Structure 1
Amino acid sequence: MSDIPLLPQVEAFLRRPHGLFIDGVNVRSHSSQTLAVTNPATGQVIAQVADADLADIDAAVDSANRGFQLWSQAAPATRGNVLLKLADLLERNREELAQIETCQSGKIIQISRAFEVDQAAHFLRYYAGWATKLSGQTLTPSLPSFNGERYTAFTLREPVGVVVGIVPWNFSTMIAIWKLASALVTGCSIIIKPSEFTPLTLLRIAELAIEAGLPAGVLNVLTGGGHVGKGLVEHPGTHKVSFTGSVPTGIAVGRSAMGAGLTRATLELGGKNAAGFLRDVDVDKAVDGIIEAGFLHSGQICAAAERFFVHRSQIDAVLEKLKLRLSRLNIGSPLDEHTEFGPVTHHQHQLKLLGYFTQARAENNTIIHGGTLIDRPGCYVEPTVILANSINDTLLNEETFGPIATFLPYDSDEELLALMNNGPYGLSASLWTNDLGKALRMVPAIHAGTVWVNMHTLLDPAVPFGGSRSSGIGREFGSAFIEDYTELKSVMIRY
């Protein structure tokens, strides 16, 4: 077992002085403050990025408004072609981007390649197809005619303006591409604020966007702490925010947006997602589903399941086989192609997860597997399985955003639905069963923006995604994103 060698261009990129990306080029920040980017697999600092200040925010907003004036007038096919060229460039630079991503996030290299690059390119191509399909309606008003005059009306879809995209650290490339593509295909410009933990890959992608033919100013990237996102949301020169992240931060972003002149906001937040396994599910298939739903990328996925409800007749067998499977996982360096489970993305998150283990023990939950940090350099956490005592236990109510699967048995389908719907959140859920008819009857009763059947976590650009209740406002993907990035204008004509 050994790490793949870093490409020379990756090593050169990491050594570069990293500024901000404004008006189509890398520029030095007005601020002298920098932030360290740490490899979570080793604990070593791999780069320094600028911590932008108010002058940088003003410069990026000015650039984005100039870019918007140009890009909003571009032919729809031109917009689509730029996205297609960017998708090609992502694939051409696949290994470079994947290695940068793995170095900054600790994501195992196979996931960086397949999701952060390949899926990002796939989403770009899907969104590119919408460029020539944005449309309004023709309408016939019912106004009375007094002197033979007639009336007609139609609607237009117009881009909202400068979008602020605030991107989390768990999928810093793919989620940024979702926001970038939504904005660009509708004629908006965008300023992306990546997480301070994972800002590097996006700085490289911004360079590729210019190579793809995107005009200067249409895409800007500002690195820095939370004050940068707040400054962008509240700036009078921005018109929409698209935020992906935690529920508390999302609520704060939504309030700031509303207070800044009713700035539009799309909030894709987390939750406490549930997976329910009906009595007829084979135990081995249930274990496969649990690993898919809860342990991909160390559980650091907003839609991942954290609450698992298994019929009482199967709970012991499921937990025993799951413990065995997790004990055999190859835990190691994310740059080793044989690694199946890597670190969490940063030290603060590692300590947060340790706190949940302490809380579980304090509440006398049964730790079936894991429940510890791994004694090695970096931010490693044991994949953990916990059996709770009741639905009120902390680990069944607070989002951990990590490799912690908490279980509770149930006795009836009615009880299962009540358990799955417990709590204020509603991002995603899944049902696992061989009885498709029963599943389809249960789906309408589940409070979640997305419900999977016999699968979990996987997303497709044609299928809208977003949360209900406290898990968010608005939708990504499909055609649903169009309303959030365009303004509807009505035109009436008398003739």
Structure 2
Amino acid sequence: MTVKPVEPFDVPLIIDGKETPATSGHNMNIINPATGAVIGTLAAAGEADVNHAVEAARRAFESGVWSGLSVHERARILNRFADLFEASIEDFYRLETLNNGRPVTETRAQIARLPQFYRYFAALALTRRSDVIPVEGPYLVYTQRVPLGVCALMTSFNHPLMILSKSLAPALATGNTVVIKPSEQTPITTLLLVRLLKQAGVPDGVVNLINGEGREAGAALARHPDIAKIVFTGGTEVGRQIGAAAAQNFAVTTLELGGKGAVIVFDDIDMDRAINGAAFAAFIGAGQTCVCGARILVQRSIYERFLERFRGKVQSIRTGDPADPKTQLGPVISARSRDRILGMLDRARNDGAKLLAGGKAAPGDGFFIEATAFYDVDPDSEIGQDEVFGPVTVIMPFDDEADALRIANGTQFGLAASVWTNDVARAHRVASKLTFGMVWVNDHHRLDPASPWGGFKQSGVGRETGIESFDQFSEPRAVTVNTSGVTHDWYDDSGQPKRLN
């Protein structure tokens, strides 16, 4: 079996275990964002391909070839896959860096943890217990968790494998079948992952791969009547459209959408920790992450000192070839993204934001932007409110806890924030008042398969990872058993009181 793609990359569809071109014959170019060069093509699925993939997934689900396996057998296959994943990890590092432009040091650190996600959910499937519910009368009531059916997993370009694994692992562990729609910009490592799942023993039709544009393949998948659950990571407006399409078929949704993360720095924290933490939050992944530290709020008493130190930190970040271990900042994903971000930077200057560092495209053939920081930014301005999705952060002063919370919570988004302080009571107090789904204290951007991931407000609905995600890939069935050994005649004429419910 061919597992590893060969350059130039040819990324087909995978439907019912078979690799196939799109029925339309239409292909799209795959671009290396570090050079702008075409590195391969992908088959762009149309509605007919989507229907074929969903039908294959539905047949596989209804046949019981996966959902009917014992939980122990599913867990064995997932653990076998995790072993294969680890054995191929060097290929994944290289290909993801090539395809989405993240520095290899970042890619290596992130992907190395992903086999753990499959092992965690395999273990959870073996150990998650159902409930016995105490009820009145001679009845035993217990619950069973029932897989939903066909799940659509739509991932984004910024963390292709991590975002997929957060949902693919619990979807498979709970017995569902899936149709995966990766970003058309970064499909290569997803192809490799699906091939490895087949090699591990996942039956044909259980995992299907659809490539292509969101407005065609993604939209057809979102509105398909046989889809029981949709998981989508991406922008808020597209997420709203997917949610509306899913609602027509009463499909369950998990939507991880936009963010405008707040990094709140109090004056009692060590300055080195604050500078290093804020820079990591702002610029990891070239800022192309929904939990990016896009707003750095600094207590006024240390504001000027923070600005001076942070300027030096930002200016020291090295842009370059993502395959070079010395590179610290890669490109953004496309020329379109680069131009959109540079337009936002121009408007920020016109709105009165002061440039601390960066602010322009970086040298090179690819889609590079300098690490950029503005200060004295109006919290209500475009750059203070809207998601940039690039290596850009803004720094704003605050006076006290109430002021910090006012600024931090003053956004339509509610995905992630961090609090930096040595005061334990303050850390818990502020965290409890932040309207964000995830809050880190003296850290940022930490993820574990056991911890729920998701946001409030316009940042989406539902949760990925954790027990919460595991349970959201199934429905509870309540089973009520009459243990009395008696069935009363409701229609007798005795006149004795009877219980209806």
CA contact (8 A) 1:273 1:303 kept: yes
C-alpha distance in 1 between matches for 2:278 and 2:158: 20
| Structure 1 residues 16 and 105: alpha-carbon distance in aligned structure 2, compared to 1, 3 A threshold | closer
Q: Give the aligned partner of residue 299 of structure 2.
A: 311
Matched, 1:22 2:15: yes
What TM-score do the two structures reach when normalised by structure 1? 0.94
Matched, 1:338 2:326: yes
What is the DSSP-based 3-state SS (H/G/I as helix, E as strand, rest coil) of the residue aligned with 1:291?
Answer: helix
C-alpha distance in 2 between matches for 1:397 and 1:39: 30
Q: Give the aligned partner of residue 223 of structure 2.
A: 234
What is the DSSP-based 3-state SS (H/G/I as helix, E as strand, rest coil) of the residue aligned with 1:465?
Answer: coil
Match of 1:89 among 78, 84, 103: 84
After TM superposition, the structure 1 = structure 2 runs for residues 136-147 of structure 1, keeping only pairs within 5 Å, are: 136-143=130-137
Q: Give the aligned partner of residue 373 of structure 2.
A: 385
Match of 2:267 among 266, 269, 279: 279
CA contact (8 A) 1:60 1:220 kept: yes
Match of 1:52 among 24, 45, 58: 45
Q: Give the aligned partner of residue 494 of structure 2.
A: none
C-alpha distance in 2 between matches for 1:280 and 1:114: 30
Question: Which amino acid counterpart does residue 296 of structure 1 have in structure 2?
Answer: I
Question: Which amino acid counterpart does residue 234 of structure 1 have in structure 2?
Answer: R
C-alpha distance in 1 between matches for 2:107 and 2:259: 24
The alpha carbon displacement at 1:389 in A equals 3.7
CA contact (8 A) 1:134 1:157 kept: no
C-alpha distance in 2 between matches for 1:435 and 1:104: 43
CA contact (8 A) 1:105 1:345 kept: yes
C-alpha distance in 1 between matches for 2:8 and 2:293: 38
CA contact (8 A) 1:108 1:334 kept: yes
Once the two structures are superposed, what CA deviation does each residue of 1:416-437 show, in whole Å capped at 9, x if it has no partner?
A: 1111110121101110011111
CA contact (8 A) 2:314 2:373 kept: no
Question: Which amino acid counterpart does residue 26 of structure 1 have in structure 2?
Answer: E
Question: Which amino acid counterpart does residue 379 of structure 1 have in structure 2?
Answer: F
Q: Give the aligned partner of residue 233 of structure 2.
A: 244
CA contact (8 A) 2:167 2:465 kept: no
C-alpha distance in 2 between matches for 1:113 and 1:361: 36
Once the two structures are superposed, what CA deviation does each residue of 1:39-92 show, in whole Å capped at 9, x if it has no partner?
A: 000000001001101111111011111222321101101111221111111111
Match of 2:59 among 59, 66, 69: 66
CA contact (8 A) 1:25 1:207 kept: no
Matched, 1:166 2:154: yes
Question: Which amino acid counterpart does residue 106 of structure 1 have in structure 2?
Answer: G
The alpha carbon displacement at 1:128 in A equals 1.4
Of 44-53 and 61-70, deviating more is 61-70
Question: Which amino acid counterpart does residue 160 of structure 2 have in structure 1?
Answer: S
C-alpha distance in 1 between matches for 2:410 and 2:445: 20
The alpha carbon displacement at 1:174 in A equals 1.0
The alpha carbon displacement at 1:16 in A equals 4.8
Match of 1:38 among 8, 28, 31: 31
Matched, 1:80 2:75: yes
The alpha carbon displacement at 1:349 in A equals 1.1
Q: Give the aligned partner of residue 5 of structure 1.
A: none
Q: Give the aligned partner of residue 121 of structure 1.
A: 115
The alpha carbon displacement at 1:9 in A equals 8.9
CA contact (8 A) 1:450 1:467 kept: yes
After TM superposition, the structure 1 = structure 2 runs for residues 255-334 of structure 1, keeping only pairs within 5 Å, are: 255-259=244-248, 261-334=249-322
CA contact (8 A) 2:11 2:187 kept: no
C-alpha distance in 1 between matches for 2:241 and 2:300: 40
C-alpha distance in 2 between matches for 1:387 and 1:393: 12
Matched, 1:134 2:111: no
The alpha carbon displacement at 1:30 in A equals 0.5
CA contact (8 A) 1:388 1:395 kept: no
| Structure 1 residues 235 and 312: alpha-carbon distance in aligned structure 2, compared to 1, 3 A threshold | same
Quote the RMSD (CA, aligned, Å). 1.5
Question: Which amino acid counterpart does residue 158 of structure 1 have in structure 2?
Answer: V
C-alpha distance in 2 between matches for 1:111 and 1:86: 23
Count matched residues: 479
Match of 1:210 among 198, 203, 214: 198
In the alignment, structure 2 segments of 5+ residues that lack a partner are: 486-501
C-alpha distance in 1 between matches for 2:225 and 2:353: 50
Question: Which amino acid counterpart does residue 108 of structure 1 have in structure 2?
Answer: P
Of all paired residues, the percent bearing the same amino acid is 34
| Structure 1 residues 367 and 347: alpha-carbon distance in aligned structure 2, compared to 1, 3 A threshold | same
Once the two structures are superposed, what CA deviation does each residue of 1:121-163 show, in whole Å capped at 9, x if it has no partner?
A: 12111111112123321224324xxxxxx32221111000000
Question: Which amino acid counterpart does residue 18 of structure 2 have in structure 1?
Answer: V
C-alpha distance in 1 between matches for 2:377 and 2:460: 29
C-alpha distance in 1 between matches for 2:3 and 2:153: 27
Question: Which amino acid counterpart does residue 344 of structure 1 have in structure 2?
Answer: V
Match of 2:166 among 164, 178, 186: 178
Question: Which amino acid counterpart does residue 120 of structure 1 have in structure 2?
Answer: L
Q: Give the aligned partner of residue 497 of structure 2.
A: none
What is the DSSP-based 3-state SS (H/G/I as helix, E as strand, rest coil) of the residue aligned with 1:480?
Answer: helix
C-alpha distance in 1 between matches for 2:10 and 2:400: 59
Of 103-112 and 445-454, deviating more is 103-112
Question: Which amino acid counterpart does residue 14 of structure 2 have in structure 1?
Answer: F
| Structure 1 residues 16 and 357: alpha-carbon distance in aligned structure 2, compared to 1, 3 A threshold | closer
C-alpha distance in 1 between matches for 2:109 and 2:290: 18
What is the DSSP-based 3-state SS (H/G/I as helix, E as strand, rest coil) of the residue aligned with 1:239?
Answer: strand
C-alpha distance in 1 between matches for 2:281 and 2:10: 39
The alpha carbon displacement at 1:256 in A equals 0.8
CA contact (8 A) 2:353 2:378 kept: no
What is the DSSP-based 3-state SS (H/G/I as helix, E as strand, rest coil) of the residue aligned with 2:230?
Answer: strand
C-alpha distance in 1 between matches for 2:449 and 2:144: 24
C-alpha distance in 2 between matches for 1:335 and 1:482: 35
Once the two structures are superposed, what CA deviation does each residue of 1:248-284 show, in whole Å capped at 9, x if it has no partner?
A: 111111111002x211101111211111001112222
The alpha carbon displacement at 1:390 in A equals 2.1
C-alpha distance in 2 between matches for 1:31 and 1:388: 52
Q: Give the aligned partner of residue 177 of structure 2.
A: 189
The alpha carbon displacement at 1:329 in A equals 2.0
C-alpha distance in 2 between matches for 1:48 and 1:252: 28
C-alpha distance in 2 between matches for 1:108 and 1:9: 24
After TM superposition, the structure 1 = structure 2 runs for residues 345-424 of structure 1, keeping only pairs within 5 Å, are: 345-424=333-412
Question: Which amino acid counterpart does residue 284 of structure 1 have in structure 2?
Answer: D
CA contact (8 A) 1:287 1:322 kept: yes
Question: Which amino acid counterpart does residue 33 of structure 1 have in structure 2?
Answer: H
Once the two structures are superposed, what CA deviation does each residue of 1:377-407 show, in whole Å capped at 9, x if it has no partner?
A: 0000000000134221211100011111101
CA contact (8 A) 2:259 2:292 kept: no
Question: Which amino acid counterpart does residue 96 of structure 1 have in structure 2?
Answer: D
CA contact (8 A) 1:233 1:256 kept: yes
